[in-house]
Amino acid sequence: YFSIYLNVKYFNFYLSIYLNVKYLITVITFKLNVKYFNFYLSIYLNVKYFNFYLSIYLNVKYFNFYLSIYLNVKYFNFYLSIYLNV
């Protein structure tokens, strides 16, 4: 398990990586907070079954954006969901 936390005045950075070599599973969580700009990125990767999951949440002051992507390479399925609130 690997975790990094960085806080520089108005800039907050958090990176968390979990790696399980036995089952070839990698989980990466990335969070970035810059004053009025909030960014959240979460990545889940399962190499064994070739599944990829990407979730992005972006909040810019009065602008809210949510993007969720699910990709399954094994069965060639792609799912994209976008939520936009202005």
| pLDDT tens readout for residues 26-56 | 444 445 444 444 555 444 444 444 444 544 4
- Does this model's pTM top 0.85? no
What does the block give as tokens for 23? 């089952």
What's the rounded Cα separation, in Å, for the pair 42 and 1? 16
What does the block give as tokens for 70? 């699910």
Q: What is the dihedral of CA 52, 58, 64, 70, to 10 degrees?
A: 0
- Alpha-carbon radius of gyration of the chain: 15
Taken in order 73, 75, 76, 79, the sign of the CA dihedral is: negative
What does the block give as tokens for 68? 């969720």
